């Protein structure tokens, strides 16, 4: 039902019901019904009509808002997928070009490493695309399955601690958070030379915290070229979640990434 029809009902239904009763009272039963009794009846009738109509109307508005919210979330999910697909296309195109260069120069070790990198990116893309966003898939299980898959491919051990409340995040937020996790692990695989990772993701009453720490070589945050580690992308995703991001790293002492958010401020998605 459109808002225009609901607006007409709001104006017409109470008017006709209450006005009709008053007309009937004064023209038909005026002599058999006292004025005081009639006033009581019209008060009770007004209360019943107002309560019934308001309940129906607010339920209808709530259903419309839920449908609009669901549509916005699905749109955000597909927009994020399109962006990831574009990044994947650009990344693989660059990797294939570089692979041709390595093969021409007979740099087989570098070419082999690059092929493994392309394989990981494709596996991650397939993992994302095979999940229907309309399905009620447990977010914790999705993350755990992806971590196990990543460990199998990369050979890097992960000590994971995932404690998430069901429905704590909207589907759109889950897509962005999943992108944060993937981006961080891609950076670890490409640059850190780590042998183990600690992964913690917890939710509280209205707050949440994501922590990813590796034992790799670390890097210098003041280095102008640090963006090659994907820090800009992680910060951009953190902004979309209205969360804070903290990066701790030292040369040869690993890197720790911490995201913290509060659901009270996550209403923009």
Is 114 part of a structural domain of the chain? Answer: no
The values of phi and psi at residue 125, to 5°, are: -65, -45
Provide the mean pLDDT of the chain: 79
Per-residue model confidence (pLDDT) at position 84: 66
Domain boundary among 65, 96, 115: 65
Domain boundary among 44, 65, 86: 65
Are 158 and 242 part of one and the same domain?
yes
| Dist. CA 206–CA 54, nearest whole Å | 31
Is 107 part of a structural domain of the chain? Answer: no
- Taken as a whole, the chain contains a residue count of 269
Per-residue model confidence (pLDDT) at position 224: 44
Is 202 part of a structural domain of the chain? Answer: yes
Q: Which pTM does this prediction carry?
A: 0.57
Which of 111, 112, 110, 117 shows the shortest CA–CA distance to 92? 117
Is 148 part of a structural domain of the chain? Answer: yes
| Dist. CA 63–CA 120, nearest whole Å | 42
Is 180 part of a structural domain of the chain? Answer: yes
Is 130 part of a structural domain of the chain? Answer: no
CA-CA distances (angstroms) from residue 178 to 24, 50, 145, 157? 65, 47, 12, 19
Is 214 part of a structural domain of the chain? Answer: yes
The C-alpha torsion from 153 through 158 and 161 to 167, rounded to 10°, is -20
Are 153 and 268 part of one and the same domain?
yes
Are 144 and 268 part of one and the same domain?
yes
Tens of pLDDT along the chain (269 residues) come to 666 776 777 777 777 777 787 777 777 776 677 777 777 777 887 888 778 877 887 888 888 888 887 777 677 767 766 766 676 677 777 778 888 888 888 888 878 777 876 776 676 666 666 655 555 558 898 899 889 888 887 889 999 999 998 888 887 788 889 888 988 888 888 788 899 999 999 998 889 999 999 999 988 777 645 445 467 778 888 888 889 999 998 888 899 999 999 865 444 44
Per-residue model confidence (pLDDT) at position 171: 76
The per-residue pLDDT for range 73-97, each reduced to its tens digit, is: 677 767 766 766 676 677 777 778 8
Q: The domain spanning residue 187 has which CATH number?
A: 3.30.565.10
Is 56 part of a structural domain of the chain? Answer: yes
Judge contact between 144 and 150, C-beta under 8 A.
no
| Dist. CA 168–CA 191, nearest whole Å | 32
Which residue(s) pair with 246 in the sheet?
258
Judge contact between 219 and 191, C-beta under 8 A.
yes
Domain boundary among 18, 43, 65: 65
Domain hosting residue 29, numbered range: 3-65
Give the count of domains, the chain.
2
Per-residue model confidence (pLDDT) at position 37: 78
């Amino acid at each position: 039902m459109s808002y225009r029809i609901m607006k007409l009902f709001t104006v017409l239904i109470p008017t006709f019901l209450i006005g009709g009763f008053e007309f009937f009272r004064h023209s038909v039963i005026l002599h058999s019904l006292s004025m005081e009794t009639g006033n009581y009846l019209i008060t009770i009738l007004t209360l019943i009509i107002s309560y019934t109509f308001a309940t129906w109307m607010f339920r209808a508005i709530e259903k419309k808002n839920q449908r609009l919210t669901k549509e916005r979330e699905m749109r955000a999910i597909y927009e994020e997928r399109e962006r990831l697909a574009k990044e994947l296309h650009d990344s693989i195109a660059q990797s294939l070009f570089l692979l041709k260069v390595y093969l021409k120069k007979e740099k087989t070790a570098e070419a082999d490493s690059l092929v493994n990198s392309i394989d990981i990116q494709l596996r991650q893309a397939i993992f994302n695309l095979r999940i229907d966003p309309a399905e009620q898939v447990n977010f914790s299980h999705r993350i755990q399955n992806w971590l196990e898959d990543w460990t199998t491919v990369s050979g890097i051990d992960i000590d994971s601690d995932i404690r998430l409340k069901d429905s704590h995040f909207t589907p759109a937020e889950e897509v962005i958070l999943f992108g944060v996790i993937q981006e961080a692990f891609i950076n670890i695989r490409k640059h850190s030379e780590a042998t183990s990772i600690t992964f913690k993701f917890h939710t509280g009453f209205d707050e949440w915290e994501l922590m990813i720490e590796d034992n790799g070589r670390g890097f210098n945050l003041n280095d102008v070229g640090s963006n090659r580690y994907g820090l800009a992308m992680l910060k951009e995703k953190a902004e979309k979640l209205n969360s804070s991001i903290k990066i701790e790293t030292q040369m040869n002492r690993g890197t720790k990434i911490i995201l913290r958010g509060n659901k009270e401020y996550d209403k923009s998605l």
